[in-house]
Amino acid sequence: MTFRKKGSKNPPLLSLEFILQNHADFVACVGMFFVLGLMFEGTAEVSIVFITLQHGVTFPAAEAEAEQATAPKFLYHYGAKDLATVFFYTLVAIIIHATIQEYVLDRINRRMQFPKQRQGKFYESGQFSVFFLVSCIWGTFILVSENCLSDLTVLWKAHTHNMMTFQMKFFYISQLAYWFHAFPELLFQRSRPQELSQQAVYVGLHLFHIAGAYLLYLNHLGLLLLMMHYFVEFLSHSCDLFYFSDEKFQKEFSLWAIVFILGRLVTLIVSLITAGFQLAGGQNGNSDDSAEDVNVLAAKIAVLSSSCSIQAYVTWNLFNVQLQRWMEEDAPLQAPSVKKKRIKGRFCRKGMENGVATSNRLLDSPQMRKEKSS
């Protein structure tokens, strides 16, 4: 993403360049309409659908007493109104993205003076590092607060009556909003055509897996797998930032590759154990248990295929990025040898030309003329 620098010439009004430079201001104005709508009685009911979480259900007193003391009395399920909430928080994600870009990453770029071919990768790694770090902290807090780490059975059981808590639903809404905002950001960042398809697939895979866990009520399992995936991705983009600041950090790539592969293996193992032995096992014919457990073959296939596909794709991307870096490192080593050969050839040609000119001068000398006449 690029922003208008002070002193630069302003682009024409409503041109593509003008929209790209000021898109955050336009999005902020659209978001303010929804916020201002809360102040008026006629528009408050519409605005509240975009801003607050919808499809909440209050537990009856009898059922609330049967639950644990720490269980919430007000839970949520998903519905069509969630699309409006995701749209609003997509606008918020665009504004936050632009704020980090302008006040943090652009200042670092001006200070470090990265070459143009690295600026796009630097911006991408910087944005993803902030997002993955915040998501890991937030998701870990949810896992601890809902006792997912102490009671592992929660991972393959849906919440009571297929409901989710406020913090769980808000986390998934925020995740969907962030990955939806990544599609227009591809235009705002002026991504190159050869990178556009790869980045679109990367964003689409995250949307598919997060939406699948949200719609199948695999909230806790999806959150745990997402935290492991985000932690590895955070380390990956953090290493990229260090590499951009100083290429000597590239020597530690072997250690990072081990951590990367171990993180992918742990994610696959958790998916296989949970999906293979729990989601599709233990059919006891009890309708109540089957209502609470996502215990169907479709869920097993979805979880396994999703986990395997995204891990394989991300690992393949890592190998491609590293191969590209190796080629960039070999390029400057090959360039001087080619230049040396060219210089050597030029000197040889010049020497031959000088030799021919010297011999011609000797043949035209008076002494050679006398020898020829005699």
pLDDT tens digits, one per residue of 330-367:
555 554 544 444 444 444 455 555 555 555 555 555 65
Quote the pLDDT of residue 33.
Answer: 92
At residue 290, does pLDDT exceed 50?
A: no
Average pLDDT on 155-163 reads: 66
Average pLDDT on 257-266 reads: 77
Average pLDDT on 123-142 reads: 94
Q: Coil, helix or strand for 13? A: coil
Average pLDDT on 239-267 reads: 70
Report the run of H or E that residue 366 belongs to, with start and end: helix 366-373
d(CA 165, CA 347): 78
126 burial (CB, 10 Å; 0-12 / 13-18 / 19+) is buried
Give the highest mean pLDDT range of 90-104, 141-155, 181-195, 316-330: 90-104
At residue 108, does pLDDT exceed 60?
A: yes
Q: Which residue has the higher pLDDT, 24 or 156?
A: 24
Q: Which of 245, 223, 104 is nearest to 170 (CA)?
A: 223
Burial letters 185-211, b for 16+ CB under 10 A, else e: beebbebeeeeeeebeeebebbbebbb
d(CA 139, CA 170): 11
Q: Which long-range contacts (CB under 8 A, 24 or more apart) does 314-319 make?
A: 314/229, 314/233, 314/264, 315/260, 315/261, 315/264, 317/198, 317/202, 318/236, 318/257, 318/260
d(CA 360, CA 280): 94
pLDDT, tens digit, 9 for 90 and up, residues 266-289: 877 877 777 666 654 544 444 444
Quote the pLDDT of residue 213.
Answer: 85
What Rg value do the Cα atoms of the chain yield, rounded? Answer: 31
Q: Is the dihedral of CA 251, 259, 211, 312 positive or negative?
A: positive
Split at pLDDT 50, 70, 90, the class of 152 is: confident
> Which residue carries 């891990």 as its tokens?
311
Percent of the chain with pLDDT over 90: 26
Listed range (17-21, 26-30, 65-69, 196-200) with the worst mean pLDDT: 65-69
Average pLDDT on 78-82 reads: 93
284 burial (CB, 10 Å; 0-12 / 13-18 / 19+) is exposed
Q: Which residue has the higher pLDDT, 374 or 287?
A: 374
Quote the pLDDT of residue 62.
Answer: 45
d(CA 38, CA 44): 4
